[in-house]
Amino acid sequence: MSSLSTEILFEKFQIIEVLKKDDHAAVFLANHIYLNKKIILKVLNTVKIHDSSMIERFKREGKILAKLDHSNIIKVLDFGMSKEFFYISFEYIEGESLRNIFKTKSLTPEQKEHVMIQLLQGLDYAHSNQIIHRDIKPENIFIDKNLNVKLGDFGLALSAEDNYVTNPYSIVGTPSYMSPEQVRGSKLTAQSDLFSLGVVLCELFTGKNPFLKENVSLTLNELNSFDEAALENNIVDVPQNIKDVLIKLLKKNLNQRYETAAEVLEDLEVEVDQPNIIVNRVDGEARKTKLAWAFIIAVTVIVVGIIALPKVFEPGQNQFGADSNAVQKNEELNNKNNTSPFNSNQTKDPVEINNFQKPLIDSPKQKENVIQQNENPVTPIGNGGLFVECNPWADVYVGGEKYGTTPLDSAISLPAGSYSLRLSNPAYPSIPPQMINIKANQVNRLKINLNNLIGSIKCFINPWGDVYINNEFKKQVTTSELFRVLPGRIRLVIKNPNFQDIDTLVTIKEGDTLLIKRNFTKK
C-alpha cells in the first residue's frame, strides 16, 4: 500500500492514524472532509491481491451494509473505486470490541442483558432484510462507552440478491462460533447465525466458550458431537430465563432451535427496540390458528361435489342459480351458525371499516339451487368451477385476469389446471397470489377473511405525526389511525419536526393489532 498518500486519500479522507496495514490492504482512522467527522476507512489494492474472492468479499461488505440502516449495525458512509484501490468508509465507534471487553472489563447482569437484546435486535433486522452474517463472534461486535452495541464485519455475509460469490455450502467463519450445519458445509440460514450468537451469549454470561478446544480439529469435532445435556449443566449462575434462551439457541436440531431473533426477543418480553413507544398487543383469533395463506387455500376449499355441468358456463353467467334476495334474507342466520375460523364475526379487529362491508354468499337457498340444477347430469365437459367468498370484499383475479368482485353472482368457469389466485381490496395490503388447482366437473368454494391474513397497527399520536411504514409515507395522523400491514417485522417511523423521530421495529402477526402510543421526546 506504499503508493497511497498518508495525507489525503481519494480527495476526501484526511488520515489521522494508521490502524492496520500490509501489502494489499489497510485500515485507517480518518476524517471525512465533506462530512467533517471521524470515520474508519478500509482500503484494498485490487492489483496486488491475487485472491479474487477477497476482492468480492470486500465489495460485498460495502453493498450489504449500505442497504442496512439500524442502530445496532455499523453504518457504511460510502464506498467506491479510485484507480486500483477499492475503499469503504464506516462510522467510527468510540469504543472497543466485545472480545476486548471480555479481557478487560466485568459487566453486570443487567449490562449483559442489555448487550444481548441489542445484538438480537440488530441481527433480527439483518435477517428481515434477507442477510445472513455467517461470522458472528466477539471480534465483530463493537460497544461504545454508553454500552451501545454495533454488529460489524459483513464480509462473509450472504444476501438473497447476490449470486453466492463464495459457495453457499463452503465452510467459512470462525470455528469455535460455527453452527453444526456450518461445520458440515450445509446451506446456512438465519438459524445458523442464531447458533453463533448463542455461543457468544454463552461466553458473555458464563465467561467461557463451550466449544473451544486445543486446536481447530478438536473444536470442529466438539461442535459436531457435543452433549446437549452436559452443555445445559455447564450453564450455571445464569438467570433461568436467560438459561432457557441459551439452551434453545444452541440446539443441534434446527427444528428445536429458534427460527428467528424476533422469537428470542418475545421470550425475553422485549417487544420493540425503542423505549419511548408504548406498545400493547391485541390478539386476534387468527393468532391462535397460526394459519398461513397457502394453508387457508388448502383447508377452506369446500368441494361442492363431482357434478356434471348442463352446459359450458362463462364468467358472469349464473349457472348455480344464486338468489340474491335469498342471500340477504339468510345472511343473519349464516353469520350466526357459521363456525368457520375465517368468518368475519370471529375477527377481533378494534376498528372495522364499514364502508367495505358486503354480504357473504352462503345461503341454504343457493345450495338447494346448486343441487337441483344438477339432478340431471350430462356428459362431463372438462371445465371446473371456482366460487370465492371474501370478507369484507375483494376483486378476484385468476391467472392475472379479473373475474369480478365479491360477492360473486356465479362461479367462475375454468378449464382443469393450476391457476394463480389474487384477491385485492384497496383498504388492505397486497397479499401475494397463491396457486389453486381446478378439477374437471368440480366446483371449489373458498371462504376467506382478509382480516385473518394480515395484521394492523393502530397509532395514537398527539398532537400529530407523519407516519412511515417500511420507509413508505402513509399519512399525517392527528389523533389515531389504523394501518393494515402484512405479517412480519415492520419498521415504523413517526415524524414531527418539533420532536425527535420515533424509529422502531415491531413484529406483526396474523389477526393481531398493535396499539402504539407516542411519547414525545424533545430534541
How would you classify the pairing of strands 513-518 and 455-460?
Answer: parallel
Query: What is the rounded CA–CA span in Å between residue 90 and residue 92?
Result: 6
What whole-number distance in Å separates Cα of residue 138 and Cα of residue 177? Answer: 9
CA distance 445 to 121: 42
Spatial contact of 421 and 398, defined as CB atoms under 8 Å apart: yes
Q: In what order do the strands lie in the sheet with 395-398?
A: 401-405, 395-398, 417-424, 434-438
The Cα diameter of the chain in Å comes to 93
Residue that has been written with the C-alpha cell 446451506 in this structure? 187
Name the residue among 292, 192, 161 with its Cα closest to residue 184.
Answer: 192
Q: Tell me if residue 169 falls in helix, strand or coil.
A: coil
Distance CA 276, CA 492 (A): 13
What residues are labeled active site?
Answer: 135
For residues 210 and 250, give the distance between their C-alpha atoms in angstroms, rounded to a whole number.
10
**Among 218, 248, 216, CA closest to 232:** 248
Query: Computed from CA positions of residues 405, 407, 408, 414, in that sequence, does the dihedral angle turn out positive or negative?
Result: positive
Nearest to residue 364, comparing CAs of 317, 329, 390? 329
Calpha distance 423→416 (Å, rounded): 20
The C-alpha atoms of residue 438 and residue 415 are separated, in whole angstroms, by 7
- The angle subtended at Cα 260 by Cα 258 and Cα 264, nearest 5°, is 65
DSSP, collapsed to helix, strand or coil, labels residue 344 as helix
Q: Are strands 395-398 and 401-405 parallel, antiparallel or unpaired?
A: antiparallel
Strands (E), 307-450: 383-391, 395-398, 401-405, 412-415, 417-424, 434-438, 442-449
467 DSSP β-pair partners: 475, 494
For the sheet with 412-415, list strands across it.
Answer: 302-306, 442-449, 383-391, 412-415
CB-based contacts of 89: which residues, under 8 Å, 6+ apart? 13, 30, 32, 39, 40, 41, 42, 76, 77, 78, 79
- Collect all residues with Cβ–Cβ distance below 8 Å to 14 and sequence separation of at least 6: 7, 8, 30, 31, 33
